Amino acid sequence: MLVRVDQFIKNVDIYGGGHIKLIIALHDRYSLGCYAYKADGYVSKYGIPSASACSPPNDASKFYSNEQAKSDFVARLKYLLDHVNPHFGQRWGSLNRIIFSFQIENESQGHMSIHNAQWMCDINTQIRSSVNNGILLSTGGDIDYGLSLRLENFQCSALDLISLHDYSMNGDYSRGKFQEAIQLAQQYRKRVYIEEFGGKGDTQMAQALNIIGATAHQLGLPWLVWQVVPNARSGDFEFFTNDRTAWAAFEHQAYWAQMSPSPFQWPEIWS
């Protein structure tokens, strides 16, 4: 797997021409028994109940509360960050030519009734020294804007970026959350970006881009949409160039986003 990712990083450098950088999530909460078909080694080691969908009986709280699990996870993260990409002769944790940000986990503790408020900051603090050379640490978002804006993440000195996730089509709601995010980020010296939003199928994806994407760049927030992928499934949050309505909206909003003044500086991208 590391060999394949190393090659992918090289391909980004070749085809991106220095204009593309990666945000890499080093783990996925949904591998912790949320979907049984992709349960990882932590599920068996720590006896985490699995489910066919992200619902009971799945309960990953052991992973977030067990001290041995934390130690195992930090060791895994440091191993990955210290891995040297042979194409560049640099550790992943310092490969700022290609990597913009690392996040320890996608949607950490998502769809759980119990939340460990210290876990995110504790883990990021332990790996902070392994991520350097201008590469940032981001949160990985949560299942909606409200949970993405947990105050403890803004207060964590090890974190640089707050990632926002939500699939709402409500522009007024989104605007309010974006304004709240900007205010908190400025107060705690963080930066904010929208990492996941979208719609199902060509028409809904276009609506999401034209509502949420437009609202984001009106406030100067960078955004990424979930997700651009070949052979996109119309019943999922996916689209590609053959989805003409969505692709046209994507091009339009991306064009105007680059002209929107941001409340934050982004020297890692625009130098």
Task: Look at residues 32, 40, 54 and name the one whose alpha carbon lies nearest to residue 111.
Answer: 54
Residue 39 lies in a domain: no
Structural domain count, the chain: 1
Residue-range definition of the domain harbouring residue 114: 2-30+57-257
Residue 219 lies in a domain: yes
Q: How many CB atoms lie within 10 A of CB 183?
A: 12
Residue 216 lies in a domain: yes
Tens of pLDDT, residue by residue over 207-250, are: 999 999 999 999 999 999 999 999 999 889 999 999 999 999 99
- Taking each helix axis from N to C end, the angle separating 201-208 and 244-257, rounded to the nearest 10 degrees, works out to 10
Torsion over CA of 169, 170, 171 and 176, rounded to 10 degrees?
-130
Q: Which two tokens stand for residue 103?
A: 């996040």
Average the pLDDT over 37-57 and give the result. Answer: 92
- Average pLDDT value over all residues in the chain: 96
Residue 212 lies in a domain: yes
Q: Residue 251's domain is classified under what CATH number? A: 3.20.20.80
Q: Please state, in angstroms and rounded to a whole number, the distance separating the CA atoms of residues 106 and 108.
A: 6
Residue 202 lies in a domain: yes
Residue 118 lies in a domain: yes
Average the pLDDT over 99-112 and give the result. Answer: 97
Give me the pLDDT at residue 271, please: 59
Give me the pLDDT at residue 18, please: 86
Q: Which two tokens stand for residue 136?
A: 């940032």
Average the pLDDT over 173-191 and give the result. Answer: 99
Residue 46 lies in a domain: no
Residue 47 lies in a domain: no
pLDDT category at 52 given cuts 50, 70, 90 is confident
